[in-house]
């Protein structure tokens, strides 16, 4: 019987990244999914990226992940968001052709040398003396592996609600995964319940687009992947329309049969992605809500009505949506629904995403209580990398909050108590100015290369970009721009200068751009991305320095590791709340401990004394992750 290095359960966005990266890291990998043809399916809205999520995709790409490459081949409407603001908060987003996306994803995973894709339903795990050794299929067959990564999405005991009707399902049209939750509960895992929802899909030909606002894609689509040269697909538009008082009145008639309002749904839904009934209930004074009509593809007849997520009964959905401007004649192809599913509160994980109760078992994606493809993919990637490193007996790969949104994501997951699905926002990142979508490569690619997951082509391109930035900084910034040329060029746009000034000095003026100065100096051959990076560094030096100073302080406390031998329960000097939380969450570093709510600065001082005590006693300072 063949024994794999890594077995991945689930073919969603987390599973894809996990499987791809372990295969890249030269491990024999098996991906088990219910239906091969549904690998890479976008169960929710057909879009990748968005604010903060776009940064995640760029980081995934810099670390050898595939999400960016797939969307670059499947995107049909690229748009850079927040372009009216600075580079730190801009994010790429793209609408995808759903079927194309899945096809490309499946093609990417087609690497028979190291990756087997197995159809089947996993009903249990093989756990031998606290270590994952493989999985049990529903048909009774065992598959053995040295590490198991579970990425089951919303499929664990999934229940779909439409009105007061409910059925067991992982996603509309797919069976739920049963038995796994129970196996894990039997091994000491705590379970929670969450809820999410989707809007109805309507038939494209039944929509009157002429009365709606058109949202055009960017003229020059910018790829997600550092390896993509250019976006080839034809770009198409999205449309915006609004609900009205009439729509709301009809929806209210359905409240009696709402699975949410009647208490049928026990799981907690995300507040940042509420259902339309929730919106009109909680914000009764708002007389319209924006709807974003997303095409699901070039040939796909379905259109996703973003903003109209609902689990109200079918006849209410139908009547209500037809009151919306442009949707008067629309036909619903698929009803909106809410789905409830099991998740494992992620404080049960180490920063490597390995579970605390069972060694060599990793959790990634929605089962950790996150929402979103990008959040799932990021976890899948990190779980895959860390599983591979552990099997190779190499140190764990953990990103800091100061290094990447992925670091923020995982740190938040394992150190906070979560009451709703977790989604990334830029405001969650303390070092937002430093963690930009445009510098994900500068932040991470060197690390990816060291892991062996960044291919030569991407790495060469990166080296070139780095060299350009270095050359801009060392050669061009000190150059003097002639007074005459500057004053002529910026006439009426910038206060004239009275002598020649350096590029660096002139750049401090908000209206002056590096690109134009290089043009004045007749310096050519620099790529726009390198120019932008250097310009940003100078224009916002004050803020960047402040963030860097904070970051240094942060890194310092982060590097103070807490010996795993410490028994928090027995440190009397800690407050009762800190004792309890620290014992539950078992932080690995002082920095991590300080971010746990309820742990006070005085508790941190106490811990510092204990860390030092252990250090002086010569106790090992091993990390808990590999225990």
Whole-angstrom distance, CA of residue 452 vs CA of residue 450 = 5
Structure tokens, 562: 């807490």
Give me the DSSP letters along 179-209. Answer: SHHHHHHHTT---EEEEEEEPPEEEGGG--G
In whole angstroms, the minimum distance from the beta carbon of 557 to other proteins comes to 5
**Does residue 290 touch other proteins according to CB under 8 A?**
yes
Whole-angstrom distance, CA of residue 59 vs CA of residue 442 = 10
**Does residue 237 touch other proteins according to CB under 8 A?**
no
In whole angstroms, the minimum distance from the beta carbon of 495 to other proteins comes to 15
Figure out which of the listed residues 85, 230, 234, 522 binds other proteins, where binding follows CB under 8 A: 85
Site track for other proteins across 87-106, x = CB under 8 A: -xx-----------------
Size of the site for other proteins (CB under 8 A): 63
Nearer to other proteins, 77 or 449 (CB): 77
In whole angstroms, the minimum distance from the beta carbon of 6 to other proteins comes to 34
Q: Give the interface segment with other proteins, choosing from 26-34, 454-462, 514-522, 545-553 (CB under 8 A).
A: 545-553
Strand 29-33 versus strand 3-9 pairing type: parallel
Figure out which of the listed residues 252, 334, 428, 466 binds other proteins, where binding follows CB under 8 A: 428
Nearer to other proteins, 272 or 298 (CB): 272
Structure tokens, 216: 């055009």
Whole-angstrom distance, CA of residue 567 vs CA of residue 565 = 6
Check the CA dihedral 99-105-107-109 and report its sign.
Answer: negative
Figure out which of the listed residues 273, 335, 338, 481 binds other proteins, where binding follows CB under 8 A: 273
**Does residue 279 touch other proteins according to CB under 8 A?**
yes
In whole angstroms, the minimum distance from the beta carbon of 213 to other proteins comes to 11
Structure tokens, 218: 């960017």
Nearer to other proteins, 141 or 602 (CB): 602
**Does residue 575 touch other proteins according to CB under 8 A?**
yes
In whole angstroms, the minimum distance from the beta carbon of 332 to other proteins comes to 18
Burial class (CB in 10 A: 0-12, 13-18, 19+), 2: exposed
Angle of CA points 292, 297, 301, to nearest 5°: 85
Figure out which of the listed residues 3, 216, 283, 455 binds other proteins, where binding follows CB under 8 A: 283
Q: Using the 8-state DSSP alphabet, how is residue 149 labeled?
A: E
Q: Which residues pair with 334 in a beta bridge?
A: 201
In whole angstroms, the minimum distance from the beta carbon of 242 to other proteins comes to 8
Strand 91-96 versus strand 47-49 pairing type: antiparallel
- Tell me which residue of 331, 312, 383 sits closest to 204, measured CA to CA: 331
Structure tokens, 549: 């100073």
Compute φ and ψ for 166, nearest 5 degrees: -140, 150
Contacts of 175 (CB under 8 A, 6+ apart): 34, 121, 168, 169
**Does residue 3 touch other proteins according to CB under 8 A?**
no
**Does residue 292 touch other proteins according to CB under 8 A?**
yes
In whole angstroms, the minimum distance from the beta carbon of 398 to other proteins comes to 20
Site track for other proteins across 37-56, x = CB under 8 A: -------------xxx----
- Tell me which residue of 189, 186, 561 sits closest to 355, measured CA to CA: 189
Give yes or no for a contact between 468 and 530, defined as CB atoms under 8 angstroms apart.
yes
Figure out which of the listed residues 118, 314, 451, 571 binds other proteins, where binding follows CB under 8 A: 571
Give yes or no for a contact between 56 and 216, defined as CB atoms under 8 angstroms apart.
no
Nearer to other proteins, 483 or 550 (CB): 550
Nearer to other proteins, 2 or 85 (CB): 85
Helix (H, G, I), strand (E, B) or coil at 429: coil
Q: Give the interface segment with other proteins, choosing from 153-161, 184-192, 430-438, 448-456 (CB under 8 A).
A: 430-438
**Does residue 560 touch other proteins according to CB under 8 A?**
yes
Nearer to other proteins, 141 or 600 (CB): 600
Give me the DSSP letters along 516-573. Answer: HHHHHTT-----HHHHHHHHHHHHTHHHHHHHHHHHHHHHHHHTSBPPTT--GGG-TT
Q: Which residues pair with 529 in a beta bridge?
A: none
Whole-angstrom distance, CA of residue 335 vs CA of residue 322 = 14
- Per CB under 8 A, contacts with other proteins among 583-612 are 590, 597, 600-606, 608-610, 612
**Does residue 617 touch other proteins according to CB under 8 A?**
yes
For the chain, what is the total number of helices (H) and then of strands (E)? 20, 22
In whole angstroms, the minimum distance from the beta carbon of 592 to other proteins comes to 13
Q: What end-to-end distance do the CA atoms of the chain give, in Å? A: 29
**Does residue 565 touch other proteins according to CB under 8 A?**
no
**Does residue 489 touch other proteins according to CB under 8 A?**
no
Nearer to other proteins, 190 or 286 (CB): 286
Figure out which of the listed residues 107, 266, 392, 553 binds other proteins, where binding follows CB under 8 A: 553
Q: Give the interface segment with other proteins, choosing from 57-65, 78-86, 329-337, 396-404 (CB under 8 A).
A: 78-86
**Does residue 573 touch other proteins according to CB under 8 A?**
yes
Nearer to other proteins, 168 or 427 (CB): 427
Nearer to other proteins, 165 or 600 (CB): 600
Whole-angstrom distance, CA of residue 233 vs CA of residue 76 = 6
Nearer to other proteins, 1 or 617 (CB): 617
Figure out which of the listed residues 498, 499, 572, 620 binds other proteins, where binding follows CB under 8 A: 572
Nearer to other proteins, 101 or 431 (CB): 431
Strand 47-49 versus strand 75-81 pairing type: unpaired
In whole angstroms, the minimum distance from the beta carbon of 262 to other proteins comes to 22
Q: Which residues pair with 355 in a beta bridge?
A: 349
Crossing angle of helices 67-74/53-62, nearest 10°?
A: 110
Q: Which residues pair with 304 in a beta bridge?
A: 201, 294
- Per CB under 8 A, contacts with other proteins among 299-318 are 306-307
Whole-angstrom distance, CA of residue 213 vs CA of residue 163 = 31
In whole angstroms, the minimum distance from the beta carbon of 215 to other proteins comes to 10
**Does residue 425 touch other proteins according to CB under 8 A?**
yes
Whole-angstrom distance, CA of residue 547 vs CA of residue 141 = 54
Residues that bind other proteins (CB under 8 A): 50-52, 81-82, 85-86, 88-89, 242, 270-274, 279, 282-283, 286, 288-292, 306-307, 416, 425-428, 430, 432-433, 540, 543, 546-547, 553, 556-557, 560, 571-575, 590, 597, 600-606, 608-610, 612-613, 616-617
């Amino acid at each position: 019987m063949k024994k794999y290095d890594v077995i991945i359960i689930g073919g969603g966005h987390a599973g894809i990244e996990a499987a791809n990266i372990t295969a890249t890291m030269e491990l024999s990998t098996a991906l088990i999914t219910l239906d091969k043809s549904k690998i890479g399916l976008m169960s929710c809205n057909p879009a990748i990226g968005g604010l903060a999520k776009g940064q995640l995709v760029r980081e995934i790409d810099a670390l050898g992940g595939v999400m960016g490459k797939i969307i670059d081949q499947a995107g049909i409407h690229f748009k850079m968001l927040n372009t009216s603001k600075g580079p730190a908060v801009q994010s790429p987003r793209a609408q995808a052709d759903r079927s194309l996306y899945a096809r490309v994803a499946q093609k990417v995973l087609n690497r028979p040398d190291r990756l087997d894709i197995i159809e089947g339903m996993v009903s249990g795990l093989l756990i031998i003396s606290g270590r994952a050794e493989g999985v049990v299929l529903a048909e009774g067959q065992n598959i053995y592996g040295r590490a198991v990564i579970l990425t089951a999405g919303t499929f664990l005991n999934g229940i779909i609600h439409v009105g007061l009707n409910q059925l067991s399902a992982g996603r509309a049209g797919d069976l739920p995964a049963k038995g796994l939750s129970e196996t894990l509960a039997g091994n000491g895992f705590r379970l929670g319940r969450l809820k999410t929802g989707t809007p109805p899909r309507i038939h494209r030909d039944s929509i009157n687009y002429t009365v709606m606002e058109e949202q055009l894609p960017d003229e020059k689509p910018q790829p997600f992947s550092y390896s993509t040269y250019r976006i080839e697909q034809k770009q198409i538009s999205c449309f915006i329309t609004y609900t009205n008082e009439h729509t709301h009145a009809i929806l209210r008639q359905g409240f009696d049969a709402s699975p949410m309002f009647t208490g049928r749904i026990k799981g907690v839904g995300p507040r940042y992605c509420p259902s339309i009934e929730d919106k009109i209930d909680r914000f009764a004074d708002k007389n319209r809500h924006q709807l974003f009509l997303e095409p699901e593809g070039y040939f796909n007849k379905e259109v996703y009505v973003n903003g109209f997520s609902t689990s109200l009964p079918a006849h209410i959905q139908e009547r209500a949506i037809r009151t919306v401007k442009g949707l008067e004649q629309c036909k619903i192809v698929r009803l909106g629904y809410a789905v409830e599913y099991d998740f494992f509160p992620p404080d049960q994980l180490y920063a490597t995403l390995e579970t605390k109760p069972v060694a060599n078992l990793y959790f990634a994606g929605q089962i950790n209580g996150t929402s979103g493809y990008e959040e799932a993919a990021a976890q899948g990637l990190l779980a895959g990398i860390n599983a591979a490193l552990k099997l190779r007996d190499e140190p764990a790969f953990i990103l800091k909050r100061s290094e990447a949104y992925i670091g923020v994501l995982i740190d938040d997951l394992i150190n906070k108590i979560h009451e709703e699905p977790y989604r990334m926002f830029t405001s969650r990142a303390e070092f937002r100015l430093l963690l930009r979508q445009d510098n994900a490569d500068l932040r991470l690619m060197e690390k990816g290369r060291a892991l062996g997951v960044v291919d030569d082509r991407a790495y060469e391109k990166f080296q070139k970009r780095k060299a350009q930035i270095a050359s801009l900084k060392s050669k061009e910034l000190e150059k003097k721009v002639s007074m005459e040329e500057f004053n002529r060029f910026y006439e009426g746009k910038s206060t004239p200068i009275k002598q020649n000034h350096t590029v660096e000095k002139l750049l401090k003026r908000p209206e002056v751009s590096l690109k134009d100065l290089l043009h004045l100096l007749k310096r050519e051959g620099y790529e726009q991305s390198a120019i932008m990076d250097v310009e940003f560094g100078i224009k916002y030096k004050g803020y960047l320095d402040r963030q860097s100073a904070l970051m240094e302080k942060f890194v310092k406390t982060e590097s103070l590791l807490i010996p795993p031998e410490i028994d928090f329960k027995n440190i009397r000097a800690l407050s009762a709340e800190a004792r309890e939380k620290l014992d539950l969450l078992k932080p690995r570093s002082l920095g991590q401990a300080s971010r746990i709510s309820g742990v006070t600065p005085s508790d941190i001082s106490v811990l510092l004394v204990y860390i030092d005590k252990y250090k002086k006693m010569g106790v090992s300072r091993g990390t808990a992750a590999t225990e």
